[in-house]
Structure 1
Amino acid sequence: MALSDSGLDDIVSSRSQAYSKFGPELLDLPLNTALQILCDYPKLLRRPIIVSNTKLQIGFNEDEIRKFIPRSIRRLECDDLLKQLEPPQI
């Protein structure tokens, strides 16, 4: 939660069927109560939630998720793609 910009609002999926049971009032509940509801109804959470020491990614965004792959691995993938684009040597 400390890494998110808007706290609960960032991680709660308003599109989930369980959300209709609680509505926007969920965001106004005391934090401990809201967290207990999220534990009881995990489908209320946006997915995926990826956390590192300094980064947080909520929801699927391929470009943003790639930031969690170590730079050395990303560089290898980039080099492989560049090799595929090179014209064959004759």
Structure 2
Amino acid sequence: MVELSEDVLSDVVKRLRRAQGQVGGLIQMIESGRDCRDVITQLAAVSRALDRAGFKLIASGLEKCVSDGSEQAKADREQLEKLFLSLA
């Protein structure tokens, strides 16, 4: 398992909290009958925020794996690549 730095984890948590707030706003928009275009725009913003959090985790993990040439690092890197592709 790849260990990530506190800075990376802190950044990811901030991104997820922001997305959490956006989801709350999105729910309110839907419940109040806001225009479909506004809802879709906000939904796209939430999606991007979640993608960025996932990409940050995976990119940081890949960076650590690349610096270590061990067999475990290679297996970790391959797993992280699959996770990255699942977000793409």
**Which TM bucket (shorter chain)?**
under 0.3
The TM-score normalised by the length of structure 2 is 0.24
The TM-score normalised by the length of structure 1 is 0.24
- Higher share of residues assigned helix: 2
Mark the structure with the bigger radius of gyration.
1
- Higher share of residues assigned strand: 1
